Structure 1
Amino acid sequence: MNQTQRPLEVACPECSKKVVWSEKNPDRPFCSERCRLLDLGAWADGNRRIAGEPAMDETEIDEMIMRAERGLQDSE
């Protein structure tokens, strides 16, 4: 990196503190291990999730397979 280029700074996803994006920070993009663990806990509790359709449970999958198999048998 040349002398005039500033290091990339990002906001910690947990507390919004500015963090230098560097290999020297093992917790990046978080500012600390504490913020990293708080974020992990929020995902584990289900407080954070990726938007989308809910996943099907095994019963729904089994029913879908049985309907498909019946459809194939009826068409033969």
Structure 2
Amino acid sequence: MATFVDCPTCGTKVEWAEKNKFRPFCSERCKQIDLGAWAEEKYAIPAVNLPQESDDNTPLQ
């Protein structure tokens, strides 16, 4: 039985198979749109409790 996923860019149903060289995307175009979004920093992973930087360049412990 084939597995289908939604293209992350346009939502089209895509078969998850080796014959689909763009998986999980439906096409080269959708793949490039996603890559461009990463390059433009439209995606971000939130960070929680980042260490504070010191003003005197002393390494933080």
* TM interval, short-chain normalised: 0.7 to 0.9
CA distance in 2, matches of 1:17, 1:47: 21
Structure having the larger proportion of residues in helix: 1
Match of 1:18 in 2: 13
Match of 1:42 in 2: 37
Match of 1:39, SS state, is helix
CA distance in 1, matches of 2:38, 2:28: 15
| Structure 1 unaligned spans of 5+ | 1-5, 69-76
CA distance in 2, matches of 1:18, 1:32: 11
Q: Flag the structure with larger Rg.
A: 1
Measured after TM superposition, the shift of residue 64 of structure 1 is 3.5
Match of 1:63 in 2: 57
Question: 1:8 and 2:8 equivalent?
Answer: no
| Structure 2 unaligned spans of 5+ | none
TM-score using structure 1 length: 0.64
Question: Considering only aligned residues, what root-mean-square deviation do their CA atoms show, in Å?
Answer: 2.4
* Larger relative contact order (CA 8 Å, sep ≥ 6): 2
Runs ≥4 residues deviating over 2 A: none
TM-score using structure 2 length: 0.78
